[in-house]
Amino acid sequence: MSDRIFGVVGMLLAIGYALAAFAIEESFLSDAVGPKAFPLIIATILGLSSAVIVLRPDAEPTWPALGRLVEIVAAVVVLILYAEMLPVAGFIIATAFAAAYLAWRLGSSALEAVAVGIGTSIGIYVIFHLVLGLSLARGPFGF
């Protein structure tokens, strides 16, 4: 069943992609092929392969239990927050929090998680910023 849903989503994607390709405004100066042809070929392949997936689905993949799924969604939210907070809070603070969160959710004890978070953050700061000179996000405190 999962594969069939996946295939239907793929077909919708192909249709959407094809519609967007038709909507491309061609400039008056164009080559013989134009900017639409190649995307339309791809949309066809995308649609056909999705159709085959719908018609001949594989065995059901093993989906995680709801709790694990929530876990992944939570991690995605934390990572998005991390990306947004990076320029605001600065590299060291944001990274320490994000790394600690991931370590905690992967089964570290609270103390170990904090240690991993701070260690990762400072370790990366020292190696990448102080030694290699990579510019990392600056927060209000300059790091």
As a whole number of angstroms, the distance between CA 14 and CA 69 comes to 27
Residue nearer to another protein on the CB measure, 124 or 143: 124
Output the smallest distance, CB 55 to another protein, in A. Answer: 9
Helices marked H in the chain: 2-22, 37-55, 66-89, 91-105, 110-124
Output the smallest distance, CB 30 to another protein, in A. Answer: 5
Going by C-beta distance under 8 Å and a sequence separation of 6 or more, which residues neighbour residue 23? none
Residue nearer to another protein on the CB measure, 31 or 141: 31
Among 50, 89, 90, 92, the residue binding another protein under the rule CB under 8 A is 50
Output the smallest distance, CB 92 to another protein, in A. Answer: 11
As a whole number of angstroms, the distance between CA 98 and CA 86 comes to 10
Tell me, by CB under 8 A, how many residues bind another protein: 74
DSSP-assigned letter for residue 107: T
Please give the residues from 3 up to 42 whose contact with another protein meets the rule CB under 8 A.
3, 6, 10, 14, 17, 20-21, 24-27, 29-35, 37-39, 42
